[in-house]
Amino acid sequence: MLAKRIVPCLDIKNGRTVKGVNFVDLRDAGDPVELAKKYAETGADELVFLDISATEERRRTLVNLVRDVAAQVNIPFTVGGGISSVEDVDILLQNGADKVSINSSAVKRPELVNELAQKFGSQCVVVAIDAKQIDGDWVVHLVGGKVPTDLNLFDWAKEVEQRGAGEILFTSMNNDGTKDGFANEALARLSEELNIPIIASGGAGNVQHFIDTFKYGKSDAALAASVFHFQEIEIPDLKQELKKEGIPVRV
């Protein structure tokens, strides 16, 4: 069985790492370069960098900051935010990104997934999906969770897999920042219906939540932010607990 991955996430706004609850009420969480260095040194399997206001502000990702972070890490590094073309991805890969995460731009122009997979390979293309459960239906949202669409989470995930996405990063807007656990029912369904890895995001509050998403959510990776940024959970301790539960991790 493949090792399960622990993935800290750096949500970036105005050059700083921030963290909110249900996508609002952002607070400062520190310097992204320092945090990235710490996570790489303490056992994170991958790192995700999301320029969360790039799409809303209609600009490209902060390339200089991507380069500075990349210089400090020796683990796979995924970058997202404001990516809308092959050229954008080219620039990010040249500046140290290993993978890119696309979200709103994929919904607006689904062919982008095909283009990126053909040019850079599926292993480079992560499609991030922010969805909110409304009256029992998981509705895909855009622009940092501000704009609802008529897309269903599961239908959209299947489509992007067919178009060449290599991974799905699913964030439950209902769970985000609540520290009440991941949306394991939806995650398990995604894992059953798709053949590509699923990264769980939204809701990590304690070690048990990670255990549960790997056991019951069938997640391939678990992404979290505030519990790592504010030292509520240390990655080496988390991995030891996962190992005790029989969950395969790299230690």
Q: Cα–Cα distance between 77 and 17 in angstroms, integer?
A: 16
Token pair listed for 228 = 């790592």
Closest CA to 224 of 178, 186, 190: 178
How far apart, in whole angstroms, are the C-alpha atoms of residue 190 and residue 17? 29
C-alpha separations of 251 from 75, 137, 232 in Å: 14, 38, 19
Instruction: Look up residue 93 and give its two tokens.
Output: 């890969």
Q: Give the homologous superfamily in CATH for domain 5-244.
A: Aldolase class I (3.20.20.70)
pLDDT at 23: 46
**Cα separations in angstroms, 116 against 11, 51, 94:** 23, 19, 15
Helix boundaries (H) for the chain? 32-41, 63-70, 86-94, 104-108, 111-120, 153-163, 184-193, 207-215, 226-229, 235-244
> 186 with 138: CB under 8 angstroms?
yes
Domains of the chain by residue range: 5-244
Rg, C-alpha atoms of the chain: 16
Q: What is the set of active-site residues?
A: 11, 130
Instruction: Report the DSSP pairing between strands 99-102 and 24-30.
Output: unpaired
CA-CA-CA-CA torsion sign (20, 21, 23, 24): negative
Q: What is the pLDDT of residue 211?
A: 98
pLDDT of residue 56: 56
**92 near 100, Cβ under 8 Å?**
yes
pLDDT of residue 53: 67
pLDDT of residue 26: 59
Reported as a single tens digit per residue, the pLDDT across 35-54 is 999 999 999 999 999 886 66
Q: Which residues of the chain have pLDDT under 70?
A: 19-30, 52-61
pLDDT at 167: 98
pTM value is: 0.92
